[in-house]
Amino acid sequence: MQPYLQYIVLLGAVVIVGAFVMPRKKQEHSLPSQSMQNMETALEQFMENMEKDNEELVQLVRDAQQETKVDAERQEQRIAELERKCEQLAEQLQMARSATATITLQTASPQPLSIDAGKSEAAFAKLPEPVEEEAPRANTIHSRYAELFSLYEQGKSIEMISKKLGMNKGEVQLIIQLAKQEEAAHA
């Protein structure tokens, strides 16, 4: 009987050792589920942070779009204002030209003809010479914006001219355009 008893004791010892080992395996299995929960929690937090960041980016894009829209409206208003000023300047230029032409015609109008040929030649000699348009040209766009036209004739870009002179590009373009119109009118 003794060998059976040894087998039973040995079998009991194996069962006891197995019982101690089994809970350890369960703890080892519970550790991965714990780490899985930690990973899921971390992923959820990461996703929440990403959503917040995305919302902030969307808001920044909206703000940038709004600012761009406001800037575009301001630029459109500025362009409309410059076009109005251009029209006013063109009208003033036309009025100045017509006034100059009227003055020129008045000063160049002939004196009443007299019957005496000698007197008419003397009167013709006394007629003032036609007034050259030098007086209005003294106050031309070229003279008022000499530096601008100097840079333009050197081949500088409108953008560079506007930066150097502290003017808007639209103003530089407008001045150049008015100068071309003025030259065409005097040609």
Over the stretch 159-186, which tens digit does the pLDDT of each residue have?
999 999 999 999 999 999 999 998 888 8
Model confidence at 24, pLDDT cuts 50, 70, 90, reads: low
Phi, psi of 126 (to 5 degrees): -80, -10
Distance (Å, whole) CA 95 – CA 15: 119
Looking at residue 32, its pLDDT comes to: 67
Mean pLDDT to the nearest integer, 53-68: 92
Instruction: Give the single-character DSSP code of 136.
Output: H
List the domain boundaries for the chain.
Answer: 46-85, 138-187
Q: What digits encode the pLDDT tens for the residues 113-160?
A: 444 555 545 544 554 554 444 444 557 888 889 999 999 999 999 999
The pTM assigned to this predicted structure is: 0.33
C-beta separation of 169 from 160 below 8 A = no
How far CA 66 is from CA of 62, 114, 156, in Å, comes to 6, 78, 34
Looking at residue 119, its pLDDT comes to: 52
Looking at residue 3, its pLDDT comes to: 72
CA 59 to chain CA centroid, Å, is 21
Looking at residue 138, its pLDDT comes to: 58
pLDDT higher for 121 or 105?
Answer: 105
Model confidence at 71, pLDDT cuts 50, 70, 90, reads: very high
List of long-range contacts for 7-10, beta carbons under 8 Å, 24+ apart:
none
Q: Of 85, 109, 100, 103, which is closest to residue 186 (Cα–Cα)?
A: 100
